[in-house]
């Protein structure tokens, strides 16, 4: 069920019987020369709406702009400052609790949002308002991501390219995949942008001139479909698990 498609009288029965909501969260930021700036929010919304369709749980409208100042040098990147993002997401979550929701899954597709969504979840948990989890799609299927691509990349790489090929193939500039790979940073790893254990970069452009990492030519719509189906299955299972929890399991523990 997608909240934005429903009339308010038709939502009453949902809130009477269910207490879980899926909230897709992404970003609007550069994803290299080959992918749309909406890559992250397109992925988040597609996964959340598909999981909602399969499970019957509620999917809210998507939060399209997140914490992305580290991509600001590239044309069109949009962002809000971290404190503003956290306050907005907490306010949105508390809005849902007004209608009876006390379990929330932030269906996230942007790494820059992770720590802030976790902090929002902690705030809501600490005062017993709601139990909110941050869920990042690729972290739910790490083995499959590794199996699909010889050289993956955490941003604008083959996994995101494949997902958009599956979700919205018309938005992919397939004639620029080789350019994306050759002008980006293909060989990256744990030590990229680090010296003696310290992270030495703040902005994406300090690591990659065109904003992307990995080998984009390794992406295909078929791989994207495999990733999408596997991640959706994980999200459905998480939703069912959370919905089945007794309320007492989700409340903060008493001081020892």
pLDDT one-digit tens code per residue, 190-211: 778 889 999 898 999 999 999 9
Going from N- to C-terminal start, the domains of the chain cover 3-250
Nearest to 219 by CA among 161, 154, 145, 139: 161
Is the predicted pLDDT of residue 51 greater than 80, yes or no? yes
Mean pLDDT score across all residues of the chain: 96
Nearest to 46 by CA among 254, 249, 225: 225
| Percent of the chain with pLDDT strictly greater than 90 | 91
Place of tokens 């897709």: 24
Q: Which CATH class is domain 3-250?
A: alpha beta
């Amino acid at each position: 069920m997608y909240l934005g498609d429903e009339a308010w009288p038709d939502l009453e029965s949902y809130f009477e019987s269910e207490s879980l909501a899926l909230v897709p969260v992404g970003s609007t930021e550069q994803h290299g020369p080959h992918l749309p700036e909406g890559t992250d929010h397109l992925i988040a919304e597609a996964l959340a709406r598909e999981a909602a369709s399969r499970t019957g749980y509620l999917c809210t409208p998507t939060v399209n702009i997140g914490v992305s100042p580290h991509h600001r040098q590239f044309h069109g990147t949009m962002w809000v400052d971290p404190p503003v993002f956290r306050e907005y997401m907490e306010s949105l979550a508390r809005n849902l609790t007004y209608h009876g929701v006390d379990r929330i899954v932030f269906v996230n597709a942007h790494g820059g949002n992770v720590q802030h969504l976790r902090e929002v979840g902690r705030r809501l948990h600490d005062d017993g308002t709601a139990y909110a989890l941050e869920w990042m799609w690729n972290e739910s299927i790490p083995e499959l991501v590794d199996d699909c691509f010889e050289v993956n990349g955490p941003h604008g790489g083959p996994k995101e390219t494949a997902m958009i090929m599956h979700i919205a193939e018309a938005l992919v500039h397939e004639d620029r995949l080789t350019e994306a790979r050759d002008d980006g940073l293909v060989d990256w790893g744990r030590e990229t942008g680090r010296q003696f254990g310290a992270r030495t970069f703040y902005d994406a452009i300090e690591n990659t001139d065109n904003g992307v990492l990995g080998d984009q030519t390794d992406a295909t719509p078929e791989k994207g479909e495999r990733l999408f189906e596997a991640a959706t299955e994980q999200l459905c299972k998480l939703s069912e698990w959370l919905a089945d929890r007794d309320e007492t399991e989700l409340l903060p523990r008493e001081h020892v």
